[in-house]
Amino acid sequence: MSSVRCTNWLVVLMGVNLLGGIGGGEQGQAAEGPKHRKLSAVPFTQVKVQDIFWAPRIETNRKVSLPHNFAWCEQTGRISNFAKAAKLMPGQFEGIYFNDSDVYKVLEGASYSLADLPDPELEKKVDEVIAKIAAAQQSDGYLNTYYTLKEPGKRWTNLKDMHELYCAGHLFEAAAAHYRATGKKTLLDVAVRFADHIESIFGPDKRRGVCGHEEVELALVKLYEVTGQEKYLKLAHFFLDIRGDEAKRQGRDNLFGPMFQDHKPVRQLDEVVGHAVRMMYLVCGMADVAAYTGDEGFIQALDRLWKDLTLYKMYITGGIGARHAGEAFGDRYELPNASAYCETCAAIGLALWAHRMALLHADAQYADVLERVLYNGFLSGVSLKGDRFFYVNPLESAGNHHRQPFYPCACCPTNVVRVLPSLPGYVYAVGPKDLYVNLYVASRAEISLAGSKLVVRQQTRYPWEGRVAITLEPQKEMDITIHCRLPGWTEGRPVRVQLDGQPVEKPQVQKGYLVFRRSWQPGDRIELDFPMEVDRIESHPLVEANRGRVAIQRGPIVYCFEAVDNGGRVRNIQLARQPEFQPHWKPDLLGGIVMISAKTRDGRTVRAIPYYAWDHREAGEMIVWVRQDGKTKKPRTDDPSWQGRLYRPLDPDSLGPSEPLTLMEMAEPSASFVGVGVLSALNDGLEPKNSCDHDIPRFTWWNHLGTKEWVQYDWSEPQIVRAVEVYWFDDEPLKRHCRTPQSWRLLYKEGQEWKPVLTKDSYGTEPNKYHRVQFEPVRTRALRIEVQLKPNWSGGILEWKVE
């Protein structure tokens, strides 16, 4: 990057704009920093990541993911939509109505990359795309290619569904990033014109509507930050203030309901609800506005919502959003694994919110969640090569869930490319005379603090090793306080601390940070050694899917078991009481990982890899939560020791007597055909609410219609069985493709021959109930349900019990 460009970037961040006015005929000057945040982030341009973990990923994002996303935006018509809207070429609108937003997100990521490292070819590409966007803007400032090309007379007629303000918000974010990175106003001028158009339509004395998908609120704050035009901050506050407030809407625009977080005023919110990504963008906007205005109602609501999410609705990976229906949060403790939605965009939204909360409150609990998301729920969303992406991030798979090069709804791939290059900006934060180390990343940072300059160097192999050395090089002797986060995963274990080579026996801890107050001189050094032990993590007993199970975590990394490392099966793993965990550094596996081996109840050795690295080799089962010998499947749900906790390390002394494995747990399921759903749903032990229950995993034969099909349980040793219960899947209420079967029967295997069981019970097919069939006991290695599907219909099973 040229010195001029870098200077412009830093000057804008410091609140002084040397580039003159910005659009709208008004004087443009960057806004002052938010007064109601306790901390300010150290900009990513002042932090150079030099570690073995994140630096290669940031480089892969620049070299692979960005060009990949640009190419897909071209192939799918996302970029040419702007050329068509500008009448630079003929053609119809292509794709989904909110596709403009994907182009803006890729531009934002490209801008961050340009700020970090000059790239003439990338800069030329960015300029070309921006030229098309500018040409597509209408004379009054309006910009949305869907409405320009397809429904030019229907602007702002469907705020609930059509994402006009959402797309505008991503334009504003991209424009702010591009201006800060390059000093060019080509995209910022477009954004300002569009923002001015929006401000002419919406406001207290104008239209009182909100967008069905939050985003514009936080983006308007970013636009305010680079332009200094307070009307954008006021407009963001207005959109938040009237959300869910029927009185303030004055009946002009109906409320959209909880799925859209538009059911009650935001100051009254106490539960994260609805579409998970929208919820995260809402709270980010609230945090941004509160940082400038000090709106206490917003801050109190944010604190309540944080507790609701982290105590009841967050996966161990930092993933959020339990339900596929509506891409939404579920009820408290509703955290299924195989059917977890955990959209990559939702994890990104949580990381953005956690960072904002860390700056707002200067409390390590928020940085703990930020770290959890970054290393797990977010990072799983992109492949190691950078060219394939997860939209959904389940915590269990039968082997049929894989990353894709792109998606028709491409919000996740394009979101990933803007987050990775901005990651260095999450490492440090500053107060008036305080430096906060929030993430442990080998890096060099140049920081302005207490009227002087400070260079900070981190040396570490984190997250694989727990040793961290922080060397300080102040321009002159500096009297400041340094706060180093004490990671929540250390869970009270002793941390070795040294200051200038001398042990610190009882380091001071405040709000989750190790605190060092003194006058610092060049070469002063803080050394930390965090205990990198392997933990078995248990979840609250009200999380039904995890009863009797544990997950594996080492440092900030959550682990999973893949079939390729474990003889083709992982769902049958049950850890021994003393698993004898052994970490192994594997430099040539999956980009370099620590693999963990463990012993099972039956004496086998099993191996686990970081969750973020799964689905890079042979397709097969994957599981995060595995059975633990001595951990009951029927725990007390009123255990007071869980107060204020959703996850905690397992105390080995808490394990009870071994429970015999049930026939279902020992069974290996198979089927004539596996359609939508997973085989593991047959015996996952999750109870259906009804036959159309989409909130738990299901097995189906879709898209086989009217055929004869089967499902089967196999056992390694002969078992005596005498009864089954079957709960059929039927999505007739949703007018979809599965119905209960026309007929079925039960067979057992004798030698190589299948024989029908002897029973007087009927083979029921009614929905919304278990159908029990008791029969003359048989000794067998395999049991099969044979079904005849109804003509022109498919079918499926939610649960199959065996006695």
Say if residues 316 and 559 touch (Cβ distance below 8 Å): no
| DSSP per residue, 93-109 | --S-TTTHHHHHHHHHH
**Residue 496 is which amino acid?**
R
Say if strands 478-485 and 434-437 run parallel, antiparallel, or are unpaired. Answer: parallel
Instruction: Judge contact between 575 and 628, C-beta under 8 A.
Output: yes
DSSP 231: H
Contacts (Cβ under 8 Å, ≥6 apart) of 542: 332, 333, 637
For residues 192-205, one letter each, b for 16 or more C-beta atoms within 10 angstroms of the residue's C-beta and e for the rest, the string is bbbbbbbbeebbee
Phi, psi for residue 741 in degrees, rounded to 5 = -70, 165
**Amino acid (1-letter code) at residue 491:** E
HSE-CB of 632 using CA atoms within 13 angstroms: 10
Q: Distance between CA atoms of 79 and 727, rounded to whole angstroms? A: 48
Name the nearest CA neighbour of 793 among 739, 744, 745: 739
Selecting among 327, 538, 709, 786, the annotated active-site residue is 327
Q: What is the CA radius of gyration of the chain?
A: 28
74 among known catalytic residues = no
Which residues are CB-contacts of 229 (< 8 A; sequence separation ≥ 6)? Answer: 22, 24, 26, 28, 192, 223
Residue in this structure with the two tokens 């979809």, named with its chain if needed = 736
Cα angle: 68, vertex 70, 71; to 5 degrees: 65
199 is known as an active-site residue: no
Which residues, at least 6 apart from 160, have a Cβ–Cβ distance to it below 8 Å? 212, 256, 260
Distance CA 487, CA 450 (A): 27
* Selected catalytic residue, list 167, 211, 345, 411: 411
Catalytic residues: 327, 411
